[in-house]
Amino acid sequence: MLVREGNDFFVRGVRLLDLCEQFDTPLYIYDGHSIVDQYNRLAQAFPGVKLKLKYACKALNNVNILRLLRGAGSGLDTVSIQEVHLGLRAGFTPDQIIFTPNGVSIDEILSAVDLGVQINIDNISILEQFGHRLGSRVPVCLRLNPHIVAGGNKNIQTGHIDSKFGISIHQLRHVQRVLQSTGVVVNGLHMHTGSDILDAGVFLRAAELLFDAAAQFPDLTFMDFGSGFKVAYKEGDVVTNIEQLGAEVSAAFQEFCESYGRELELWFEPGKFIVSEAGYFLVRANVIKHTTATVFIGVDSGQNHLLRPMFYDAYHEILNISYPQGIERIYTVVGNICETDTFGWDRRINEVNEGDILLFKNAGAYGFTMSSNYNARFRPAEVLIWEGQAHLIRKRETLEDLVRNEVELDFLRP
Ligand SMILES: *Cc1c(COP(=O)(O)O)cnc(C)c1O
């Protein structure tokens, strides 16, 4: 939680400018208590159902963050075999992990079977191959596409008709044929309709379609409704009302369980909701450049460190924490990468001088995990704030890290 005292900014008592001194910029920092609080808020929002939360680790996968969430009671949602390994390394047991890949080979899925995690299959071809190899030995979850569109940027809608995700709800007859001829047992149904759920109504419409489909699957032990819980990126944003959504979904789920004849577990896979607001990204203003069009602030980072503004057109609030008492001026904040990497146009920011520290909000989710080494820049360090102390949880990279896997050919050496 960001707190301003006078002209200074703190997270859980830790002064942010001190962190920049100690660890340098660009720097990702995470408020561990905010992460646990968000987890608990979600965990308590679904009364009267057997709820399991599987944190979607692609949002932020530092081992310490995974352990913090494991300690809070979370399971893990993974989308690659490497994420499965990160989860096991962090101490999750295989039964706490669901593997929900898209477009991966049967070999990768079989590797995940060997590791003992819950498999979620998202196409009929893989379901067939899985059935031929394993028959009824390992139950699977099926990712269904109910074709409900949840709004938001079109890059992050996954329920629509052209989506590459899931098995269409209209293909269930085909699915049943494959199950009958291979003996595969289905223990869960899954959907993840997109990254932004605006209201309980959209969610419930998709859920109803899954409830209807469930009648064809007698061996279910859980239903997984993915994620899409929305958080505020700027003032006035519509956010998911978790408590209201929880109450409505819980009531609908209880009713479904009664008609199904058994109490199933209700699973969710939140990523952004848990870690977005807990993260801050700190950068330094390198140059102030007046052009004919605008005043640019060039900072010591770029789209290589925070891709969301360029990739999703995402809005991240930007504050000048060095000089918050300065008058507001209009700036365009850009990176130092040789691309047009714009973090924000026409932002009102307290007057910025070269050397000032700027803070980006909502940097916990899809910040560090989407970062790269483009332009041969080092990826930033990460710091976890916990119980009033700042802990370095990832070192800034070095030149050694950049060239580690290069193979130098002898005949080309100078
Ligand atoms: C990305 C993803 C999530 C998490 O989405 P958020 O919007 O970050 O909550 C959950 N489930 C699956 C399958 C995903 O791919």
Of 402, 405, 392, 403, residue with least CA distance to 63: 392
CA of 269 from ligand 1 middle (Å) equals: 6
Catalytic option among 20, 57, 141, 338:
338
Query: In angstroms, rounded to a whole number, what is the distance separating the alpha carbons of residues 305 and 291?
Result: 25
338 part of the active site: yes
Q: What is the pLDDT of residue 229?
A: 85
Q: Does 151 have pLDDT greater than 70?
A: no
118-127, 130-139, 160-169, 370-379: least confidently modelled range: 160-169
Contact, 272 vs 232, CB < 8 A?
no
Centre of ligand 1 from the C-alpha of residue 59, in Å: 8
CB of residue 271 inside a 6 A radius of ligand 1? yes
Ligand 1 probe mutation, 57, 58, 145, most atoms within 8 A of CB: 58
CB of 102 closer than 8 Å to CB of 125: no
Q: In this predicted structure, which of 59-68, 152-161, 248-257 has the lowest mean pLDDT?
A: 152-161
- Specify which residues 360 forms β-bridges with: 281, 318
Task: Please tell me if the CB atom of residue 54 comes closer than 6 angstroms to any atom of ligand 1.
Answer: no
Provide mean pLDDT across the span 392-412: 98
Question: Mean pLDDT, the chain, as a whole number?
Answer: 94
Checking if the pLDDT of 198 tops 70, the result is no
Give the mean model confidence (pLDDT) for residues 365-393: 98
**Does the C-beta of 195 come closer than 6 Å to ligand 1?**
yes
Share of the chain above pLDDT 70, in %: 95
Any ligand 1 atom below 6 A from CB of 272: yes
Q: What is the pLDDT of residue 360?
A: 98
Query: Tell me, what's the pLDDT at 241?
Result: 85
Question: What SS3 state is found at 127?
Answer: helix
Confidence label for 149 from pLDDT (cuts 50, 70 and 90): low
Q: How far is CA 279 from CA 95, 228, 290, 368, in A?
A: 29, 18, 31, 10
**Percent of residues, the chain, with pLDDT higher than 90:** 87
For ligand 1, mutation pick of 269, 362, 370 (most atoms within 8 Å of CB): 269
Contact 131, 184 (CB under 8 A): yes
Average pLDDT over residues 339-344: 96
Task: For residue 26, say if its preceding peptide bond is cis, omega within 30 degrees of 0.
Answer: yes
Region 82-96 average pLDDT? 98
What values do phi and psi take at 230, rounded to 5? -95, 140
Question: pLDDT grade, residue 153 (50/70/90)?
Answer: low
Tokens 């239903």 locate to: 223
